Amino acid sequence: MTNPPALFSLFGRAIRAHWSVGLTFPLVAGYGLAAESAFAGVYYPVLASAVFACVGLPALAHVFLAWRFGLGTRDVVLYPFWATVRYAAVSERPWQEIYIAASAPLMHALLAAAILLGLPDERAAYPTPDQLAFGTVFLAHLGWCNLLLALLHLAPALPLGMGQLFRAALSMTTGRRPATETACHLSTVGALVLLLVGIFWLQSPLLAFLAVTLYLSSQEDLGRTRYFAAIRADRPETHAEPVPSVLIPLDQVVDAGCRPPEARFTGFTWNRKARLWVQWLEGRAVGANALVGD
């Protein structure tokens, strides 16, 4: 559970890039060069850079909404086609996340509408580079990419928007770990279908890469959830590895910055100064843990 490298800091939050981002641009360039032309080998990475910038906008909306709900955020991890926000509070009943998760498809849909509706009707249709001027083609492609990202976030798979919404809604009755496991099972099935479609039907290495990235991202989310579940348990589960945590006394660990957003909060909150996770049970602090990699 080592953290991805931080690119920069924004509003006191580290913006990190997942390792898959580094593979995206050469893959896109190679695909354009092999399938189309030398121009496509340059054009598609430039377009991917713009799409990557658009991916960060829903993440900023997540950060803002989390602040409004009192959850707070630790950092933002950028993936090639989405971004995940790691919250400073991990609740067993995360009702706030239901509203926050819906912002990802909404933001991409608004970006697509703003770009495509700003173009004349005959230019908003998906063009080829030889049909229109370069700038118009680029904007049209960027608008369609955002529309595809909005549709992608409607899939009930972690860590996509609808997958997070599904997990949050399910955890209201089952708890966070069972909800995450169910959402990850759906993510695995969806990633497998996407992989088969990308390889055997569309013969698209980009779609296959998306499927693999989606699967790995959902497994990382599941791994973090199981870490916290193992800490809460009296003993590690028989099939789990020993939990890499250190129990720390509560004296001077709980401060105003890590108090939970709910009176009867059960879960974990992040103490930024001490870099510790404070464990809460029905609104009462019961422990502090330092997880390896946090």
> Does some domain include residue 269?
yes
Q: Same domain, yes or no, for 143 and 264?
A: no
pLDDT in tens, 262-277: 888 888 888 888 788 8
Whole-number pLDDT of residue 111? 92
| 181 and 52 assigned to the same domain | yes
Pairwise CA distance, residues 274 & 127, whole Å = 53
Relative orientation angle of helices 19-35 and 205-232, to the nearest 10 degrees: 170
- Residue 1 has a pLDDT of 53
Mean pLDDT to the nearest integer, 205-218: 90
Let me know if residue 201 belongs to a domain.
no
- In terms of domains, do 227 and 249 share one? no
The answer on 13 and 154 residing in a single domain is yes
> Considering the domain boundaries, does residue 162 fall inside one?
yes
180 with 253, same domain: the answer is: no
For residue 238, being part of any structural domain is answered with no
Domain total of the chain: 2
pTM, two decimals, is 0.78
Which residue type does 46 have?
V
For residues 185 and 158, give the distance between their C-alpha atoms in angstroms, rounded to a whole number.
9
Which pLDDT score is estimated for 251?
Answer: 61
Q: What is the pLDDT of residues 82-134, one digit of tens each?
A: 888 888 888 777 888 888 888 889 999 999 999 888 776 555 555 555 444 66
Residue 202 lies in a domain: no
- Determine the pLDDT at residue 180: 93
Asked if residue 264 belongs to a domain, the reply is yes
Q: What is the pLDDT of residues 41-87, one digit of tens each?
A: 888 899 999 998 898 888 888 888 888 887 788 888 888 888 888 88
Closest CA to 171 of 64, 223, 261, 96: 96
- The sheet that has 73-78: what strands, in order across it? 6-10, 13-17, 73-78, 83-87
In a domain, 210, yes or no: no
Answer yes or no: are the C-beta atoms of 256 and 232 closer than 8 Å: no
Average pLDDT score over the chain: 82
Q: Comparing C-alpha atoms, which of 64, 46, 79 is closest to residue 221?
A: 79
224 and 286 inside one domain: no
In this structure, the number of other CB atoms found within 10 A of the CB of residue 30 comes to 14
**Residue 111 to residue 190: CA distance in whole angstroms:** 25
AA identity, residue 124: A
C-alpha of 265 from chain center: 24
- Whether residue 50 lies inside any domain: the answer is yes
Q: Distance (Å, rounded) from C-alpha 50 to C-alpha 121?
A: 22
In order, the DSSP letters of 229-256 are HHHHSSS--TTSPPP-EEEE--TTT--G
Q: Are residues 97 and 26 in the same domain?
A: yes
Q: Counting every residue, how long is the chain?
A: 294
Q: Are residues 257 and 223 in the same domain?
A: no
Quickly list H helices, the chain: 19-35, 38-68, 95-101, 103-116, 121-124, 134-152, 161-174, 176-196, 205-232
Backbone phi and psi for residue 80, each to the nearest 5 degrees, phi listed first: -60, -35
More confident residue, 193 or 96: 193
Q: What average pLDDT does range 25-46 have in this prediction?
A: 86
**Range(s) of the domain holding residue 10:** 6-190+217-232
Residues 263 and 227 in one domain: no
Side-chain-side CA neighbours of 28 within 13 Å: the count stands at 20
**Same domain for 228 and 98:** yes
Residue 238: its pLDDT value, please?
42
Q: Are residues 19 and 160 in the same domain?
A: yes
| Joined tokens for residue 113 | 């509408």
Closest CA to 161 of 57, 273, 91, 239: 57
Q: Beta strand 89-91 with 83-87: parallel, antiparallel or unpaired?
A: unpaired
Q: 252 with 111, same domain?
A: no
